[in-house]
Amino acid sequence: MHVSVIGTGYVGATTCATLASMGHRVIGVDVDQQKVAMLNSGRLPFYEEGLEALMGSLITQGSLTFTTDLPKAVTESEILFLTVGTPSQSDGSADLSYIEEAVRQIGRHLDRYKVVVSKSTVPVGTGDRVRAILEAELAKRGVVIPFDVVSNPEFLREGKALHDALHPDRVVIGCESDKARAMMTELYQGVRTVMLYTSVRDAEMIKYASNAFLALKISFVNELARLCEKTGSSISKVARGMGLDSRIGPQFLRAGIGYGGSCFPKDVRALIHLGKQQGVPLQLLDAVTSINQTQAPWFLQKVETAIGPFSGKRIALLGLTFKPGTDDIREAPALAMIEMLQERGAEVSAFDPQGMEAVRQIHPQVKMATDAYGAIDGADAVLLVTEWPEFLDLDWSKVRKRMRGRWILDGRNALDGDKLRASGFAYACVGERRSE
């Protein structure tokens, strides 16, 4: 099939490569000429494991290309995907201006029946808005051209996006016509997973509900971790015991310093805003957001209790991105931690395999090292902020010699505390009373 994907960010680029690898002819569309040139040369403007290599091979084969020519992409495609951003506005609502402008452009150049598919995360009712904009643009042209609007939300984990796109847990297709359903079924022919067909509004809500529930699990286990420290329980053992219940599962039950990234914070805020609009306060999600916002400050208080006032001390952060396997620092807990540490007089050093350049633009005072050992040099305390695999396999005897202090504070509960204590470190993590 001939497909266009409008928007070539994290979701758009992954969608382009995935659909092209399934045998479709795909055009990726973006307004940024420099970005399009980079993509056509086989390079990504962000890091996502395995994606750049696949994209390069598909471009060489001729099944994938990128352009700024939206009218050409519209006329040459049967299915048009919308994968532009929907960032948060000041009141928590989703900014749909990019979606609306893309839809207006489609309406100005629609020449025959198309399926317009929203893969962007959008509030319930956006499909109706897309339909109204398309109808208005066609009316301005004085033409009647049939089309269908579909919601096909993505469920991608950054760092594992390509795997998730190629091997999805489920494919949700919200559509209102048999023709659109048949075309989407053909598009995903060969994908072995559950195909869930719903209304457009159901599909839009499924995306928000899924992300909000995963955020809820993270905040629940983080709040429970605070209680475990007070009661002498181990959150790691408690979470394992919970996760063995098949009704709960172990995913998203690791205590830490909170969630970040481009999805959970934005989508939880948008769902809360939708609830307010409809007169249905989502008090549980208000609490989820509050817990997440206070988790990093709570952890830093734990650090300060261990090592004393931050003023004049050097604190090394291992990891800056919101999770390993990505260069995404959007709403990463590290950003808030850096700001709080600097406000309290600490000198901050850091290393992250992918996130340092982006953080340097926000916090230029942070000393960025060329490796983990450089960040650790002379540190009074080392904070594990992102559980990149290379941080879990450091030469800890080398670390001990290069530190000024002896505290290792594990914000992701990813290190072997007993091993570190045996090596002469003082160790503390999240949700464990023992800190020595």
Active site residues: 263
Tell me 48's DSSP state: B
Give Cβ neighbours of residue 119 (< 8 Å, ≥ 6 apart): 11, 15, 81, 82, 83, 152, 153, 154
Residue type (1 letter), 356: M
Q: Would you call 264 helix, strand, or coil by DSSP? A: helix
Task: Name the nearest CA neighbour of 394 among 407, 384, 381, 380.
Answer: 384
d(CA 292, CA 259): 7
| 271 contacts: CB under 8 Å, gap ≥ 6 | 208, 209, 212, 282, 285
Cβ count within 10 A of residue 279: 6
Q: Token digits for 344?
A: 């309290």
Phi, psi of 370 (to 5 degrees): -85, -15
Q: 383 - beta bridge partners?
A: 317, 409
Q: How many CB atoms lie within 10 A of CB 192?
A: 7
DSSP string, 404-427: SS-EEEETTS-S-HHHHHHTT-EE
How far is residue 93's CA from residue 116's CA, in Å, rounded to a whole number?
23
Distance, CA of 165 to CA of 22 (rounded, Å): 11
What is the 3-class SS of 88-157, one letter each residue? ECCCCCECCHHHHHHHHHHHHHCCCCEEEEECCCCCCCHHHHHHHHHHHHHHHHCCCCCEEEEECCCCCC
Task: Find the length of the chain.
Answer: 436
Tell me the C-alpha distance between 118 and 5, whole Å: 10
Edge to edge, the sheet with strand 347-351 lists: 367-368, 347-351, 314-318, 381-384, 407-410, 426-428
